[in-house]
Chain A
Amino acid sequence: KAGVTQTPRYLIKTRGQQVTLSCSPISGHRSVSWYQQTPGQGLQFLFEYFSETQRNKGNFPGRFSGRQFSNSRSEMNVSTLELGDSALYLCASSGTRATTQYFGPGTRLTVL
């Protein structure tokens, strides 16, 4: 069974731009969660989608948004990028058990 895939793996943007990251979950998984990982703050929860609906949301500004498609693939968007948005963005998918979340390799975003 293929794992969680994320594209692109690396991204360089400048301040003020926007970016879209993509995540394909494990086949059959309907829940997709997004996390931001930085050296200073560690892994922080952004949001979780299930069956195209946002079910949980973390404490991030509205510049961070996401969506999920009918095939469970998910995208997250960051608008008006700031230097502090430089991070590894991780996507995780899970089936019926929230305790078993499988992470992708992440997208490393650098904002210049």
Chain B
Amino acid sequence: QKEVEQDPGPLSVPEGAIVSLNCTYSNSAFQYFMWYRQYSRKGPELLMYTYSSGNKEDGRFTAQVDKSSKYISLFIRDSQPSDSATYLCAMSEEGGSNYKLTFGKGTLLTVNP
């Protein structure tokens, strides 16, 4: 079992839809949870991060972490064609190894005008 599982999609939605992206993980030592967005031929760009459990909102994006279920989500409201990209979840442990990120394989999202 991989440490982080993410449905690769692809996911295709109409403009304005609410998008839900998810990851599950097996390592209970993960404390930091991040979402990255990667456009084609670009490096990943950090969208949001959350420490431990809870919700965090930033504009149209909401990140949720449920450590009891080992499940994290990213919601995108009012999705736009410019949101079309691959979304990657990433996680790390507390302490000295927290610079080592473990990534999901990414979900390819297409938002159609």
Contact residues of A with B, CB < 8 Å? 4, 31, 33, 35, 41-45, 48, 50, 55-56, 58, 90, 92, 94, 98-106
Q: Is the CB of B43 within 8 A of A48?
A: no
Q: Is the CB of A48 within 8 A of B99?
A: yes
Knowing that A99-B98, A100-B49 touch, tell me 15 more A-B residue pairs with CB under 8 angstroms.
Answer: A31-B99, A33-B101, A48-B99, A48-B100, A55-B96, A90-B43, A90-B44, A98-B32, A99-B32, A99-B92, A101-B99, A101-B101, A102-B46, A105-B41, A105-B43
Determine if B69 is an interface residue (Cβ-Cβ < 8 Å): no
Number of A-B contacts (CB under 8 A): 62
Inter-chain CA distance A90–B45, complex, in Å, is: 12
Determine if B105 is an interface residue (Cβ-Cβ < 8 Å): yes
| 8 Å CB contact of B99 from A41, A55, A90 | A55
What would 30 A/B residue contacts be, using CB atoms closer than 8 Å?
A4-B43, A33-B99, A33-B100, A33-B101, A35-B101, A35-B103, A42-B88, A42-B104, A42-B105, A42-B106, A43-B44, A43-B88, A43-B90, A43-B103, A45-B102, A48-B100, A55-B96, A55-B99, A90-B43, A98-B98, A99-B92, A99-B98, A100-B46, A101-B46, A102-B46, A103-B43, A104-B43, A105-B41, A105-B42, A105-B43
